[in-house]
């Protein structure tokens, strides 16, 4: 396969990243500023908030305020995670959400433990959300977790992923993001998974959401981009994964992804220097280390 | 190209890793124990010391004592860096060194700044070392630095790397290790470099020594392994690169390389669990963070 000429990078830092940050609730204005800076750096697709019960995810309790604070830029899509109908209603009420996201998994054990239902039940729950989205002309993205391995069930068969991805498309999702949630994939395994899925869902409707728990994310992304996949989820500064403490896990850093894509001659529309500035700014705000090697390398001017 | 069935991992942590560690001189017995543990974990090729002037690299001042302390295991090759004839003589005097290593670069600016000579002069300096090695039946490995980019000269042309690699083989090196010293490579660039070099030197005499400064090392290693390269240099716990502070740079972590290779179905002979134990042990000894994501992930039992 030829490499895609361009890749759309979906920035999940403000949502998938920040919701996994330990410590104090991050001020709303910090979250809003992060979204603004990301758009300014050329990110055209930003997952900005999660409309989930603050009981479950206190860090996302100000989702409506975050959306209200965003000064939307033309050409940028602002997305929100909406795990249930109530969340979807709240997201739509803001009048600022271009896209909603729903999630399920390729592992029955994972949906059972995480959202207390079967995969089929999780898909059923999407029906009213899809209807509401359609009424408001808002597109819906589907996430599938544990596409390679599951912390409870072990290896996941590619055909299982393909079936769930197909269901999400059939139910109206415009795109399916394939999540290696625990980061256990290696290049040939993710290629085999993608091959199976792309027989059920066209490649242009698929995204890779690979975690870097075992350091494999970039190698895996290179492998799937070689297969023609052209949408990648990532998180500025690797937010959501701890860069050095025990228990490190989480999102691959956007800067590192962009560096690789640009090195491969693939366009992203992203200004890497601006993105690195944003990366240092947000890690300063959070008082945490930076999970992006590119940010560390460019930040200290060592080459 | 088919993937190689097996890859030889060359562990450079005790030398290239430790010599770049800041802080106090590490006790000789710690270095010796590290080498022993690595051999026990299945590493068959360990660069154990550098016979360089302690004025330049104080951390390697006990090279002879380290070699003397090593209880050699059958089937394991113990290598030492010997930047000059005096170092080579000292290495041979220990009676424990199976292999010596010499280094030059693909960039004139780099050899000029680092070893104050031209590339041609650096190659001339190897002549007496090669002769001495031959007299003692010791093989010599050649390192080429800056095979993709140079901090002083920028991009390096693949043909320049090919010419230097060829010279090293012609002068008697049994293997040439190609170093992306500042870690600026991306998959297609390292593939183009390898393609040029492998026209001058057979693939089975080439090794990849890729630094992870920009987080690209594993993706690049995957790319060259796909081309049939079957020798990889790496450093346990990513020793030699700081895992989180500014100025991060340095070796890719052996654990992360091994995880990828095993995931690809490639044999290494390495016991990953034992290696991870060694990784935690040495970072505890050094009081530093762990630069291997696999070590962090496996260490905390999160999957």
The tens digit of pLDDT for each residue in B206-244 reads 999 999 999 999 999 999 999 999 999 999 999 986 554
A53, A19 contact by CB (below 8 A):
no
Inform me whether the C-beta atom of residue A149 falls under 8 Å from chain B C-beta atoms: yes
B43 shares contact with chain A (CB less than 8 Å): no
Report pLDDT for B250.
83
Give residue B249's pLDDT band: very low, low, confident or very high (50, 70, 90): low
Q: Is B242 a catalytic residue?
A: yes
Q: Which of B213, B41, B224 is nearest to A301 (CA)?
A: B213
Whether B303 maps to a domain, the answer reads no
Distance of alpha carbon B234 from alpha carbon B294, whole angstroms: 14
User: Model confidence at B195, in pLDDT bands (50, 70, 90)?
Assistant: very high
The whole-number pLDDT of residue A270 equals 98
- Which stretch of A71-80, A182-191, B48-57, B88-97 has the lowest confidence by average pLDDT? B48-57
Q: A residues 231-260 near B, CB within 8 Å?
A: 243-249, 253, 256, 259-260
Q: Which of A154, A165, A86 is nearest to A123 (CA)?
A: A165
Q: How many CA atoms lie within 13 A of A259 on its CB side?
A: 31
pTM of the entire predicted model: 0.95
Domain assignment present for residue B1? The answer is no
Strand ranges (E), chain B: 8-11, 45-50, 77-81, 99-105, 139-145, 149-150, 154-155, 175-180, 206-210, 231-234
Q: Report the DSSP pairing between strands B45-50 and B77-81.
A: parallel
Q: How far is A217 from chain B (nearest CA, A)?
A: 9
Q: Confidence band (pLDDT; 50, 70, 90) for A241?
A: low
The Cα angle at residue A269 between residues A265 and A270, in degrees rounded to 5: 95
Instruction: Answer whether residue A3 is part of any domain.
Output: no
Residue A292 lies in a domain: yes
CA gap B188, A98 in Å, rounded: 36
For residue B302, pLDDT over 80 is answered with no
- In the predicted model, what is the mean pLDDT of chain B? 93
Give the count of domains, chain B: 1
Helix %, strand %, coil % of chain A (to 5): 45, 20, 35
CA angle A195, A206, A36 (to 5 degrees): 150
Six-digit token string for A110: 């994972």
Which residues have C-beta within 8 Å of that of residue B22, sequence separation ≥ 6? none
* Contact state of A296 with B246 under an 8 Å Cβ cutoff: yes
Which residues 109-148 of chain B have a CB within 8 Å of chain A?
A: none
User: Residue B85 maps to which CATH number?
Assistant: 3.20.20.70
Inter-chain residue contact A215 with B183, CB threshold 8 Å: no
Percent of chain B at pLDDT > 70 equals: 95
**A137 inside domain:** yes
Q: Is residue A98 part of a domain?
A: yes
Question: B14 lies in a domain?
Answer: yes
B197 inside domain? yes
Interchain proximity B256–A214, CB inside 8 Å: yes
Instruction: Give the residue numbers spanning the domain of B229.
Output: 8-298
CB pairs under 8 A between A and B: 136
Provide φ and ψ at B51, rounded to 5°: -95, 80
Nearest CA among A63, A85, A81 for reference residue A131: A85
Which residues of chain A does B225 touch, with a Cβ-Cβ cutoff of 8 Å?
none
- Name the helix (H) or strand (E) containing B29: helix B28-40
Name the average pLDDT for chain A: 93
Would you say residue A171 has pLDDT above 80? yes
Q: Are B232 and B10 in contact (CB under 8 A)?
A: yes
A41-82 pLDDT, tens digit each: 999 999 999 999 888 888 889 999 999 999 999 999 999 999
Q: Which residue of B145, B263, B300 to mutate against A (max A Cβ within 10 Å)? A: B263
């Amino acid at each position: 396969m030829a490499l895609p000429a361009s890749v759309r990078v979906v920035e999940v830092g403000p949502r998938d990243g920040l919701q996994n940050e330990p410590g104090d609730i991050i001020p709303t204005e910090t979250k809003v500023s992060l979204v603004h800076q990301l758009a300014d750096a050329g990110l055209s697709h930003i997952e900005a908030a999660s409309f989930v019960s603050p009981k479950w995810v206190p860090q996302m309790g100000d989702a409506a305020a975050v959306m209200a604070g965003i000064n939307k830029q033309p050409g940028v899509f602002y997305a929100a995670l909406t795990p249930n109908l109530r969340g979807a209603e709240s997201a739509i009420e803001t009048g600022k959400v271009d896209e909603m996201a729903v999630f399920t998994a390729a592992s029955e054990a994972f949906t059972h433990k995480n959202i207390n239902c079967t995969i089929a039940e999780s898909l059923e729950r999407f029906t009213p959300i899809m209807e509401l989205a359609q009424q408001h002309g808002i597109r819906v993205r589907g996430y599938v977790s544990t596409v390679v391995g599951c912390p409870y069930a072990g290896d996941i068969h590619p055909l299982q992923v393909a079936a769930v991805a197909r269901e999400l498309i059939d139910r109206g999702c415009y795109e399916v993001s394939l999540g290696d949630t625990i980061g256990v994939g290696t290049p040939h395994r993710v290629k085999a998974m993608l091959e199976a899925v792309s027989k059920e869902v066209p490649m242009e409707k698929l995204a890779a959401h690979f975690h870097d728990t075992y350091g494999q994310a970039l190698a895996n992304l290179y492998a799937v981009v070689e297969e023609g996949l052209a949408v990648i989820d990532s998180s500025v500064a690797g937010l959501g994964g701890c860069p050095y403490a025990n228990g490190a896990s989480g999102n691959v850093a956007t800067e590192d992804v962009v560096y690789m894509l640009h090195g491969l001659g693939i366009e992203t529309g992203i200004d890497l220097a601006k993105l690195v500035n944003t990366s240092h700014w947000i890690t300063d705000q959070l008082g945490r280390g930076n999970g992006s090697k590119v940010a560390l390398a460019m930040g200290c001017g060592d080459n």
